[in-house]
Amino acid sequence: MNRMLFTSESVTEGHPDKVCDQISDAVLDAIIAEDPNARVACETTVTTGMVMIMGEITTSEYVDIPGIARQVIKDIGYTGGLGFDGDTCSVLTAIDEQSCDIALGVDKALEAKEGKDETYNAVGAGDQGMMFGYACDETAELMPMPISLAHKMAKKLTDVRKNGTLPYLRPDGKTQVTVEYIDGKPARVDAVVVSSQHDENTSLETIRADVKKYVIDTIVPAELMDENTKIYVNPTGRFVVGGPQGDSGLTGRKIIVDTYGGYARHGGGAFSGKDPTKVDRSAAYAARYIAKNVVAAGLAKKCEVQIAYAIGVAKPVSVMVDTFGTGTVADDKIADAVNKVFDLRPAAIIEKLDLRKPIYRNLAAYGHVGREDLGVAWEKTDKVDELKELLK
């Protein structure tokens, strides 16, 4: 037997970096709701008592950026007495318009400049770079098991805090799951780590018992745990000071949490605060869409897709498919079929995945992929029949 341990982590919506991601995406949502063609690149940083929002935004509409930031912070749960308060923190903004040099390539792709005047050639890629998408058959949503369980536990930590089950919990928290694989398949959970901010009056014993009962035991299937499964709840013994008071935060610093928990490769680009002309975001969603349809079609047990672009050019410079030896047909044949079924020019992705809508704030915590709960288009498996037909 080939035995392997793999670990992934997630964080709650009150983690300082995730606070920033949610503010950036809430600003994007507010702008795109009024101006679907706006160009937005919005970054946020937080620390004790302060929020700073900066970036390049080109839009015909006005939105109250400080007001949006304060509302996000309060929605997360940072109100009076936690060392960081949405009503009293200072909010600084430093916003400029998108560079005219970048806009030259986004407004009109190279193909359109060369006279290839098709509808989807109207928008060039907003940057160069490579994006990855992944899917596997380990969970119902076709995600790797470690990150799937870690996300669900992080979301559960927030749920039991907000619904009053564990009212002494505070917004900041992290989860981590180690899965043991035997011959490439999940066999058991080897370790679970949960760290949650809490009030100073609740004992460690109470926190550990409650988190195991209401969070871990409700998410991790009992059949995957045994007497050798290690469980660590607040292993430092105290987590009272948290959120932006305990650590600074920054948009885009949790890209592995946002995707596949390290189980698949990552191109390096963050998502939050970016409008869909930025292929860091839209093409990463498209790559997940492709990979999920390949696995759902039974063409592979695992599938990773890479898409790469040149700035200002609509058509990708490359599309790669890797099934890690699990494909029912050769990877190059799957790649050929993918290129026929999926139009990966930015304008086509934006239209197919319906990305000019205010859908982004809800994605800014607990993962951008695998989110079947949000009904996002890139989690659909509506291309299965077309792929099967081409590869039969």
∠ CA 276-291-279 to the nearest 5 degrees?
20
pLDDT along the chain (392 residues), means of 10: 96 98 98 95 96 95 95 96 92 85 57 61 77 98 98 98 97 98 97 97 97 98 97 96 95 98 96 95 98 98 97 92 97 97 95 97 98 97 97 91
State how far the Cα of 17 lies from the Cα of 247, in Å rounded to an integer.
Answer: 9
Residue 120 is predicted with a pLDDT of 60
On whether the CB atoms of residues 320 and 305 are closer than 8 A, the answer is yes
What pLDDT sits at residue 201?
95
CB 273 within 8 A of CB 44: yes
Task: Give the residue carrying structure tokens 């599309």.
Answer: 319
- pLDDT, residue 127, reads 80
Q: What is the pLDDT of residue 115?
A: 61
279-296 helix and 331-341 helix, angle to the nearest 10 degrees: 120
Give the separation between CA 287 and CA 284, rounded to whole angstroms: 5
What pLDDT is recorded for position 97?
A: 82
List Cβ neighbours of 240 (8 Å cut-off, separation of 6 or more).
170, 197, 198, 199, 200
The C-alpha atoms of residue 118 and residue 351 are separated, in whole angstroms, by: 14
Amino acid at 343: D
**Tens of pLDDT, residues 6-45:** 999 999 999 999 999 999 999 999 999 999 999 999 999 9
Task: List the beta strands (DSSP E) in the chain.
Answer: 3-11, 39-47, 50-58, 90-96, 129-136, 169-182, 185-198, 230-233, 249-250, 302-309, 318-322
* Sign, CA torsion 211/213/216/218: negative
